[in-house]
């Protein structure tokens, strides 16, 4: 039923569908929400954050057109679910989280699942160290009012970046940037709702 729901909503990439089926989503939600883990809706997690609904995870993953040799940057680890999905489709994943509590919990879950190609970093996803990158794919899982230039600069030629862009309170639009030899191609995809991408590392939690 889970895979059927995603198919009905337009997800057609077989590798993405198979991965969504294989990654145990119930391990990435709070215990009180286990029964609703596979419902197609976002769920609350610690630190006022959310785990995205399965369709949005599948859709964003499909749009990345991942290959096994790709190095992927994720901004916003959250519970680690998106990173677990990425880990099965890409070569290396670096996921950055501003909340220590979330980063530590995500790291533990990913290690338990054997996602050894994922590194969880506590840090500011909007102000990364200069020595990080470049990447073949970049995925942002929090709302940005605009995509920072220093993030776009980390994208390899032929690379894809996907991010929800729009007001922090309200509806955003998923934007896909593709870096070609001649420059950046921008495409608007679907409307979504994400929690805000905030600067800095959280002082608590």
For every residue of 153-192, DSSP letters joined together read TTEEEEEEEEEEES-SSS-EEEEEEEEETTEEEEEEEEEE
Q: Does the pLDDT at position 202 exceed 90?
A: no
Beta strands 43-44 and 50-51 are antiparallel
* Predicted local confidence at residue 22, as pLDDT: 96
So what's the pLDDT on residue 177? 98
Pairing state between β 135-140 and 71-75: parallel
> Does the domain formed by 1-192 have CATH 3.40.50.150?
yes
Ranges of each domain in the chain:
1-192
- Separation in Å, CA 159 to CA 29, 78, 144: 31, 24, 20
Q: How far apart are CA 186 and CA 84, in angstroms?
A: 27
Q: Are 99 and 75 in contact (CB under 8 A)?
A: no
- pLDDT for residue 205: 59
Percent of the chain topping pLDDT 70: 99
| DSSP-derived secondary structure letter, 65 | T
Give pLDDT, residue 128: 92
Average pLDDT over residues 45-72: 97
Q: Closest Cα to residue 51, out of 15, 24, 70, 14? A: 24
**Separation CA 108–CA 120 (nearest Å):** 10
Tell me the C-alpha distance between 45 and 29, whole Å: 7
Catalytic residues: 52
State pLDDT tens for residues 64-112: 999 999 999 999 999 999 999 999 999 999 999 999 999 999 999 999 9
pLDDT-based confidence at residue 200 (cuts at 50, 70, 90): confident
pLDDT (0 to 100) of residue 188: 97
Sign of the dihedral defined by the CA atoms of residues 50, 29, 18, 72, in that order: positive
Average pLDDT, the chain: 95
Measured on CA atoms in the order 146, 149, 154, 156, is the torsion positive or negative? positive
Q: What separation in angstroms does the CA of 102 have from each of 27, 30, 145, 164?
A: 14, 12, 23, 21
Long-range CB pairs of 68-72 (<8 Å, 24+ gap) are 69/136, 70/136, 70/137, 71/135, 71/136, 71/137, 72/135, 72/136, 72/137, 72/138, 72/139
Output the six-digit token pair for 179.
């870096």
């Amino acid at each position: 039923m889970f895979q059927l729901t995603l198919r009905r909503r337009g997800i057609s990439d077989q590798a993405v569908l198979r991965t969504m089926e294989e990654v145990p989503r119930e391990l990435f939600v709070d215990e009180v929400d286990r029964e609703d883990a596979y419902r197609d809706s976002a769920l609350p997690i610690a630190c006022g954050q959310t785990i995205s609904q399965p369709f949005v995870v599948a859709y964003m993953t499909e749009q990345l057109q991942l290959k096994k040799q790709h190095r992927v940057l994720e901004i916003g680890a959250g519970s680690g679910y998106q990173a677990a999905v990425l880990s099965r489709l890409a070569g290396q994943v670096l996921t950055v989280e501003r909340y220590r509590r979330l980063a530590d919990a995500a790291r533990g879950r990913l290690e338990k699942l054997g996602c050894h190609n994922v590194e969880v970093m506590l840090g500011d996803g909007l102000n990364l160290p200069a020595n990080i990158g470049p990447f073949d794919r970049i995925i942002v899982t929090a709302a940005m009012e605009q995509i920072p230039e220093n993030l776009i600069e980390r994208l390899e030629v032929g690379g894809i970046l996907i991010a929800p862009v729009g007001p922090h309170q309200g509806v955003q639009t998923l934007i896909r940037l593709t870096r070609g030899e001649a420059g950046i191609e921008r495409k608007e995809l679907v409307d979504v709702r994400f929690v805000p991408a905030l600067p800095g590392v959280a002082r608590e939690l």
